[in-house]
Amino acid sequence: MVYSSGSPEDVAGAQQRHGRGHVAKALEQLFAASARCLVENGIRRLVVAGGETSGAVVSALELDALTIGPEIDPGVPVLLAATPRPLALALKSGNFGAPDFFAEALRKLAAAA
């Protein structure tokens, strides 16, 4: 599991020192590069939370097509990438989803890949 988190004060301080857009872009690039590295080294299932982060990851993986699979939570399906090796993703934006979303996503990705 890879994530970023901070208190509202810490986040505001980083944004004030470096600029709101710069901090967000740096985190998106970190997660995109991490996802690319993980997939290149054999990871076949990814759960990505955050709309901009999800977009950055899909772009970094250069995915041309995704097939919609079973639903994990309302509005969040399993996505299967058209890649030489099976790759299953869950792309979740915003603050929604059941309390067990991540566990359920991993279970459904494992069954689909």
Q: What is the pLDDT of residues 67-103, one digit of tens each?
A: 999 999 998 999 999 888 889 999 998 777 889 999 9
Q: What is the pLDDT of residues 2-45, one digit of tens each?
A: 777 889 899 889 889 998 888 889 999 999 999 999 999 999 99
Cα–Cα dist 71/105, whole Å: 9
CB-side neighbour CA atoms (13 Å) of 36: 16
Q: What is the pTM of this model?
A: 0.87
Using CA atoms, how far residue 78 sits from 1, 14, 30, in Å, is 18, 34, 23
The CATH number of the domain covering residues in 8-112: 3.40.980.20
Q: What angle do CA 67, 49, 106 make, to 5 degrees?
A: 60
The full set of domain ranges for the chain reads 8-112
